[in-house]
Chain A
Amino acid sequence: MDSLRPLVKPPERSRRGVRQVPWLLALPGVAALVAFHLVPVGFGAYYAFTSWNGLTHASWVGLQNFRDIVDDATARGALLHTLELAGSFVALANGIGLALALGLNRALKTRHLLRSLFFAPVALSPLAIGFLWSWIFAYQGALNRLLGSIGLSSLERAWLGDPSTALWTILVVMVWQFSGLAMVLYLAGLQGISDDVYEATLVDGASPWFRFRKVVLPLLAPALTVSATITLIIGMRAFDQVKALTNGGPVAATETLSTQIYSQTFALGRFGYGSAFALLLAALLAVAALTQLALLRRNEARL
C-alpha cells in the first residue's frame, strides 16, 4: 500500500505542514501531563526535604524528614504494613485469579455468569466495600456469629480491634474485591491458546501439570506481567479500605504510607513530612514495579 501512495498523492500534499498533524491539537493533553504530573512530582520531591507547612516559605531541612520516619514507630509501621499488605495481596489475588481463570475458562455451563459475578466487585467503590466488610468483622458481626453457631466460640475475637488480626482483615477485603480483576486479565491471556494445541495435549495423554507448565503458562506470561503490575499498584496505594475498616488503628497497627500521607499532610498540616512519605511511596513503587517487570520479562523469555 505504501508503494501506491506516490501515485495517488497530489503534489501539494507533500508540502511540509500539510500532512503532519500539528502539535497544537495535543496541547491540552501535554499541558495536563506537565502541569498535573511532571511539575508537581518535581515540587513534591523537593518538599520532601523541607519543613514546609503549606503556607509560608519552605525551608530546606535535608534528610531530617526521613530520619524522623526511621525514628518514629508509627511511620516505620506504616512502611512495614504497606509492604506486607502489598506483597500478600499480589500473591493471593494473582493465585486466586489464576485458579478462577483456569477453572472458568472452558466447559462449565455457568462460566459466563460466574465470571461476571467474580468480576463485579472490581467496579464498586473500595470504600463502600470496606464498610460492608467492617460489619462482617465487627465483634457482634457475621464472622463471630458464624463461628459461634458452629461451635467455635473460642475463635471469636474483635478482628478489627486486635492488632494481630486487623491488617489481615484489610487483606481479605482487598483479595475479595480484586481477585476477579486478575481473573479477567488471565482469561484474556488464555484466549490466545488455540483449541488445537490444547486438544492435542489432551489426546497425547499429557499430564495436567505438563499441560499447564508447557502449554498454558508460557502463553499466560504477558497477562501475568500486567496483572502483577496492576495489583502491585493497588496494594501499595491501599487507603480506602483502611479508612473504612480500621482508620489506621488499633494502636497504628494498620497505618499505611497512604494513610500517613493523608493524615500528616492534610490533617496535621505537615506538608514537608507528608511529602517525604509520598516520595518514599513513589520510590518504593517504582523500584518494586521495575524489579517485578524485569523478573517477569526474564521469565517470559525463558518460558
Chain B
Amino acid sequence: MAAARYTRATLVRELGFVAVAAIFCVPFYLLVAIALETTAQADTTPLAFPRPPHFGNFSTAWRTGGQFGLGHALQSSLIITVSSVAGLIVLGSLCAYTIARRKSRLSDVVYILFVLAIILPFQLAIIPLFVELRHLGLVGNYAGMIVLNIGLLMPLTVFLYTGFIRALPRDYEEAARVDGARLLRTYARIVFPLLRPITGTAAVLLAVIVWNEFFVALIFLAGSRYQTLPVALYTFAGDYTARWNLVFAGVAIAIAPLLGFFVFAQRELIRGFTAGVKG
C-alpha cells in the first residue's frame, strides 16, 4: 500500500484509535488483576492490581475446577480438537478433491448441499443425533465427540478446500498419473502437499471452532470425565458463584491457550474467515 501522507489530522485519528483500543482492553486488565487477587481483595479493592499477586486461584482452578480439574479438561480439549481437526483435514480434503475434479451435474449438486449445510443451524440436527448416538454408546466419551465434530464441520471443511482446489492447476497430478502412480499415492504425494496453504487456514479455523464449542459439548459431555474446557468452566463457575477471583482464574486458563495460538495463527484465522469474501 502506498504511503499516505501523515498529517496532523492523521495523528489525531491515531491517538483517538489508541484511546479506543485502551478502553477495549479494560476487560483483559480486569481478568488478569482479579484472577491474581485473594478473595478479600476481590471483594474490597478489585480494580487495583494486587501486590504481591496471589497465584493460589490458578492451582485451585487447575486441580479442582469443574469436578475433575481444568487441567484435565484442557487435556480433553486437546485430544478432541487435534483428533477432530486431523480427521476433518484428511476426509474433507479428499472429498473436496473429488468434487472439484469431477465436472458433472452430480458434483455441483453435492457441493451445493454442503454449502447449504453450513448455513442450516446444527440445533435442528443435534436432537435426533443425540438420541441416535446415545443408542450407539457414543455420548459421554471421546470417540462420540470426535465423530460428531467431524460430521458437523465436514461441510465447512469441504467448502474451504473445494474453492482452493478448483483454482489449482491439474498439471502436476496429471503428470504423476501418466507415470502410472496410483490415485491415493498421487493424492498423498502430489496433491495434498500443494494444498498446504488452505490446510493451514482450515486447520486453524476448525481448531478455534472445535476448541470453543459449548452447546454440543454441554449436551454430549457434561458430567463426564471427558468434558472440554468450556463445559468444565461452566461447571466451575456454577460451583463458585460470586467467588470472582477463582472464576477469573478459570476464565484465564480457558482463554490463555487460544490467545497464545492466536498470536501465531492470526493470519490463517483471518484467511479462513475471509474465504467467502474473495470466493
Whether A and B are associated in the same complex: the answer reads yes
Do A26 and B94 have beta carbons less than 8 Å apart?
A: yes
B230 and A127 contacting across the interface, CB-CB below 8 Å: yes
> If A30-B110, A233-B119 touch, does A199 touch B2 (CB 8 Å cutoff)?
yes
Residue A154 at the B interface, CB < 8 A?
no
Does B131 contact A184, Cβ atoms closer than 8 Å?
no
Nearest CB in chain B to that of A241: its residue: B214
Contact of B124 among A106, A226, A279 (CB under 8 A): A279
B92–A29 CB distance below 8 A: yes
Size range of the chain A interface in the assembly: 35 or more
A109 contacts B128, CB within 8 Å? no
Q: Which chain A residue lies CB-closest to B114?
A: A33
Q: A125 with B254: in contact, given A19-B177, A116-B266, A278-B127 (CB under 8 Å)?
A: yes
State whether A45 and B124 are in contact (beta carbons under 8 Å apart), knowing that A29-B94, A37-B117, A127-B233 are contacts in the complex.
yes
By the criterion CB–CB under 8 Å, are A275 and B127 in contact? yes
Interface centre among A54, A103, A132 (most CB of B within 10 A): A132
> Do A132 and B248 have beta carbons less than 8 Å apart?
yes
Asked if B17 and A103 sit within 8 Å, CB to CB, the answer is: yes
Q: Do A13 and B276 touch across chains, with their CB atoms under 8 A apart?
A: no
A283 nearest CB across to chain B (Å)? 9
| Beta-carbon nearest neighbor of A290 in chain B | B119
Q: How far is the CB of B266 from chain A (nearest CB, A)?
A: 6
Say whether A110 contacts B125, CB under 8 Å: no
Most buried by A among B10, B98, B123, B219: B123
Return the CB mask of A1-36 against B: 1 if under 8 Å, else 0: 000000000100100001111110110111011011
A106 → chain B, closest Cβ, in Å?
5
A65-78 interface code vs B (CB 8 A; 1 in, 0 out) = 00000000000000
**CA A28 to CA B94, docked complex, whole Å:** 9
A30-B110, A110-B17 in contact; A135/B244 too (CB < 8 A)?
A: yes
B95 at the interface (CB under 8 A from A): yes
* In the assembled complex, A281 has its CB within 8 A of some CB on chain B: yes
Contact with A along B168-199 (1 / 0, CB 8 A): 00000010011000011001000000000000
- B2:A21 contact, CB within 8 angstroms: no
Picked from A45, A107, A127, A240, the residue with its CB within 8 Å of the CB of B6 is A107
Contact of A222 among B46, B91, B255, B277 (CB under 8 A): B277
B202 at the interface (CB under 8 A from A): no
Give, as a whole number of angstroms, the nearest-CB distance from A132 to chain B. Answer: 5
Task: Evaluate contact between B121 and A281: CB separation under 8 angstroms.
Answer: yes
Identify 4 new A-B residue pairs, CB closer than 8 A, beyond the known A176-B24, A243-B234.
Answer: A25-B187, A131-B250, A132-B27, A199-B2
6 residue pairs of the A-B complex, CB under 8 angstroms, read A21-B98, A29-B92, A35-B151, A127-B233, A131-B233, A131-B248
Question: Which 9 A-B pairs give the minimum distances between C-beta atoms?
Answer: A29-B95, A36-B151, A26-B98, A40-B125, A32-B154, A43-B128, A188-B274, A278-B124, A44-B124
